[in-house]
Amino acid sequence: MKKNLALALAAFVGFATVSEAQKSSTSGPAFSATSAAPTSPEGGGTVVVTPTILSQTTVGGATTLVLDIAGSESWDSQGDASNMVLNVPLPAGSSMTGIGWDATVATQGGSWLSEAVMYFDGSDQDGSGLFLTIGVGNDFAGTSFFTSAGIIDLSDNGIADIPVLGDNTLYIELFESFDDAADTIDATYPAPSTLTIVYEGGGGGAVPTVSEWGLIIMTALLLIGGAFLVVRRSMTEATAV
């Protein structure tokens, strides 16, 4: 079910660099998300991962993917070569229209929960990317679980859909809005941690999940087995005549 959280959104463009002395504990909304022009959305990341699709459902032209992001890491500022980038293959001509999460963030050292950011963009890099901070307002170190409690529709919250063009890949760069220590992990996403992506258009589905591959193989074996039984039965009946 789509969830409208327009009143909970905190709009901002980009992230201003702040000094350690400027950090202060402040209250904030449940999450922060906005569209903004990208700064190297693919991040040049040396660690590129295609997350496992835990489930995939299509209803009324909208496909929902639940992605396993457990074990992902947040390293440095946006665009740094150390950052992890998650690649999600989507059908040509599709757009990400909704998002959800049930994820744990665990910080390292003095890094804050509010500094772990996810940047979503299609390969066209046309400035329609989305910055998502699920721990906004948690200006302290530690480990916390965050949930969207459902799917958040982007357009319903004044956020532009994310078109997936070029190589038909949705890029998700994990980075820090404030880099406490260069070339060092600032935060991780321990298990269980999932992201939910909703996309529309494209006229096709994403890659099958692990469970779906098992179902496909099992169905094929059953069909082959059934055909074998039919042939064997026909041969037995012919011999008995």
Q: Does residue 93 contact residue 205 with C-beta atoms inside 8 Å?
A: no
Tokens 């890949």 -> residue = 169
pLDDT < 70 stretches in the chain:
1-46, 124-128, 203-241
pLDDT of residue 181: 79
pLDDT of residue 74: 94
* Residue 121: DSSP 8-state: E
In the beta sheet, which residues pair with residue 96? 162, 199
Q: pTM for this one?
A: 0.69
Q: Rounded CA gap, 68 and 49, in Å?
A: 11
